[in-house]
Amino acid sequence: MSRRHKKKKGEDIQLNLAAMLDMAFQLLTFFILTFRPSPVEGQLAVNLPPPVAITNPQDKPKEDATGDGAGINPFETLNMYVNANDAGEVTEIRVGTRTLSRGRLDERQVGSLSRSLGEFFALTPYERVQIIADGKLHYGELMKVIEVCTRQKLTNGEMLHKISFIQQDEVQN
Partner 1 sequence: MSGGNADSVEPNLTPMLDMVFQLVTFFMLVINFKGASMDLSLKLPVLSSARPVEWHGKKEPLVLNLKEDGSVTAFGSPIPDIEKFVVRETRVMRDYLKSEGATNLDEMPIPVIVRADGRAPFAQVNKVIKLCQNNGFRQFQLSAMSAAEAKAP
**Among 45, 70, 158, 172, interactor with partner 1 by CB under 8 A:** 45
Least distance in angstroms from the C-beta of 27 to partner 1: 5
Nearest to 128 by CA among 83, 65, 53, 76: 76
Does the protein bind partner 1 through residue 138 (CB under 8 A)?
yes
Minimum distance of partner 1 from residue 15's CB (angstroms):
9
Q: What sign has the CA pseudo-torsion 86, 142, 125, 55? A: positive
Q: How far apart are CA 66 and CA 131, in angstroms?
A: 21
Q: How far is the CB of 52 from partner 1 (least distance, A)?
A: 12
Nearer to partner 1, 24 or 123 (CB): 24
Q: How many residues bind partner 1 (CB under 8 A)?
A: 48
**Does 54 contact partner 1 by CB under 8 A?**
no
Residues 77-96 within binding reach of partner 1 (CB under 8 A) = 84, 88
Three-point CA angle 153, 44, 145, nearest 5°: 65
> What is the footprint of partner 1 within residues 15-44 (CB under 8 A)?
17-18, 20-21, 24-25, 27-28, 31-32, 34-44
Which region, left, alpha or beta, applies to residue 7 given φ > 0 means left and ψ of -120 to 50 means alpha? Answer: beta
Asked whether 163 and 149 are in contact (CB, 8 A), the reply is yes
